[in-house]
Structure 1
Amino acid sequence: MRVSSKGITVLNNLMNDMFERLANEAARLTKYTARKTLSSREIQGAVKLVLPGELGRHAMAEGTKAVSTYASNNNGRQSKS
């Protein structure tokens, strides 16, 4: 199975647009809370606001799983150094 270069371009544009929407919403939430640091809390809130229903819940679950995996892999590397 292959993906054409036009297909890749469409997917790239979709992902860039989604990143921009989430980043803007997370930045807006950070301003509302009068904080200067963007945290995972604002990202989770942005996902809930930008992605509807089941899609948002699935994105939250996958994001949490990815961060957990990263943290466990990263902690193992630090202790070996």
Structure 2
Amino acid sequence: MRIFLLSRAALPKGKKHSRRRKESYSLYIYKVLKQVHPNAGISSKAMSVMNSFVTDMFERIAGEASRLAHYSKRSTVTSREIQTAVRLLLPGELAKHAVCEGSKAITKYSNSK
């Protein structure tokens, strides 16, 4: 049995390679933008910057929460570790707002179950 590798040029007409999906938060960033400023738009470069920022923050929070769970000899990262990680990573008032919004989201999720 022979296996042939096809280049893009060798594909039959009308057939396309399936591209690997690239995960991003662009859709969610756009939805939040429209909630806050309905008439505002965002350039693709600005969206890329925002996407990188959100990814970076999630990685930092996850890393810090993981460390906190490890310090307390726990194998599960709970909302408590996430909350503490947010308090450690974000400055003052921003941390308070983030914790408040996070608690609200958890309550909403719990009530919808």
> How would you bin the TM-score normalised by the shorter chain?
0.7 to 0.9
TM-score, normalised with respect to structure 2: 0.63
Aligned-residue RMSD, C-alpha: 0.8
1:13 is aligned, of 48, 52, 56, to 52
> Counterpart of 2:93?
54
SS at match of 2:97: helix
Percent of matched pairs sharing the same residue: 51
Q: Structure 2 CA distance, aligned partners of 1:70 and 1:38? A: 17
The structure where helix makes up a greater share of residues is 1
Offset of residue 18 of structure 1: 0.3
Greater length-normalized contact order (CA 8 Å, ≥ 6 residues apart): 1
Question: Which stretches of structure 1, 4 residues or more, deviate above 3 A after TM superposition?
Answer: none
> Counterpart of 1:4?
43
Q: Structure 2 CA distance, aligned partners of 1:47 and 1:71? A: 21
> Counterpart of 1:67?
106
SS at match of 1:35: coil
Task: Structure 1 unaligned segments of length 5 or more: list them.
Answer: 75-81
1:32 is aligned, of 71, 78, 96, to 71
TM-score, normalised with respect to structure 1: 0.87
Q: Structure 1 CA distance, aligned partners of 2:52 and 2:71? A: 29
Give 1 or 2 for the bigger CA radius of gyration: 2
